[in-house]
Structure 1
């Protein structure tokens, strides 16, 4: 019995000691997304003002690598790409959370009669501990459009995807790699559905 108790405690501690990024991915796409092999693609920020930011310049190679792994060829700056991937990202709101735990407080409830008698103990009250924290909604959005339709009023999209992850880390930079991994988990995913994944994380933010 004790061995089973220790095993259960070990499993719980192992789970608590393995941080992860939990995310949900929603994707919509056309049949063309299945025929992207060797098609060229360029990655651009949305809004366009972020294109020159140092933050996006650090994200772009990671996004390009993911697109390369699913079959695209990354276009050179002078190319006229078959597709353009527009990427937006950030923190979309926060929410305060709280959790209350209670523990029994054991104290003396009586003493025995006679010399040397030990006091009797029992649970006479409970102590309550409330913790509060803020959780942030981190997101990455990816729209892939046909290159020939860029600049038109109605660009032709072949893929729209959004990944959301809620957690205590208040910046996307701290969890970007994990959230991006979630987006490309089983890319392009289930069309018109939301799927949930858990990505291992080193816990740093």
Structure 2
């Protein structure tokens, strides 16, 4: 009974870890941002024509929630703001990468045991059975395949109404997908991790996500 309970618990932990994933981004920040002592802000797009778009307004809400959590106050009229938050974001067309994985088995005689692996991750070389430890000969031919990696970014600048900069930040990430409505919220979370951060430093931030 104790063994069964342990096995069930182990299985649950494996299932949980299989459902959990993470989003990684490199975040660079330069700042002399004042402490939130009555500071107010408004959010605009770096390209003025985007400010009124529904997509931009959606992403701006994520930034506003983070700014409010820091203790700053959002105002709708730029003339009433002591800081202007400018945003830009995007994702490229992707680049193809080549990798390999174990494919078709070859060889004639096999014994018992597990295969012996040489290499790690997507770049494993041909996998052979060790005749001394596993009782047979043979292996697998590598299967070569390609996949696309997309690079996304979020730029966020904060200035005084006269144009004096107080914060410049950029979050960059590589991903297998190019869906901006999924990427930008994660980039925003990365940007505000340990905000406002140490000026002149680039950090790697991992954002927990749910794997679908």
- Bin the TM-score by the shorter chain: 0.7 to 0.9
Aligned equivalents of 1:15 and 1:100: distance in 2?
25
Aligned equivalents of 1:11 and 1:131: distance in 2?
31
Corresponding position of 1:116? none
Aligned equivalents of 1:109 and 1:158: distance in 2?
69
Query: Are 1:18 and 2:20 an aligned pair?
Result: yes
- Between structures 1 and 2, the one with greater strand share: 1
Q: 1:96 to 1:160 in 2, by over 3 A?
A: same
Residue 11 of structure 1: how far off its partner (Å):
7.9
Residues 71-112 of structure 1: CA distance to partner in whole angstroms, max 9, x if unpaired? 2111133742101000000114522122212368364349xx
Aligned equivalents of 2:47 and 2:41: distance in 1?
18
Q: Give me the TM-score of the superposition, normalised by structure 1.
A: 0.77
Q: Give me the TM-score of the superposition, normalised by structure 2.
A: 0.75
Within a 5 Å distance, the mapping from 1:39-78 to structure 2 comes to 39-77=39-77
Backbone CA RMSD of aligned residues: 2.7
Residue 37 of structure 1: how far off its partner (Å):
2.7
Unaligned runs of 5+ in 2: 1-9, 111-134
- State whether residues 105 and 123 of structure 1, in contact with CA within 8 Å, keep that contact through their aligned partners in structure 2: no
Aligned equivalents of 2:96 and 2:109: distance in 1?
40
Aligned equivalents of 1:106 and 1:133: distance in 2?
26
Unaligned runs of 5+ in 1: 1-7, 111-120, 150-154
- State whether residues 182 and 197 of structure 1, in contact with CA within 8 Å, keep that contact through their aligned partners in structure 2: yes
Q: 1:95 to 1:16 in 2, by over 3 A?
A: farther
Aligned equivalents of 1:173 and 1:98: distance in 2?
27
Q: How many residues align?
A: 180
Corresponding position of 1:118? none
Residue 201 of structure 1: how far off its partner (Å):
1.2
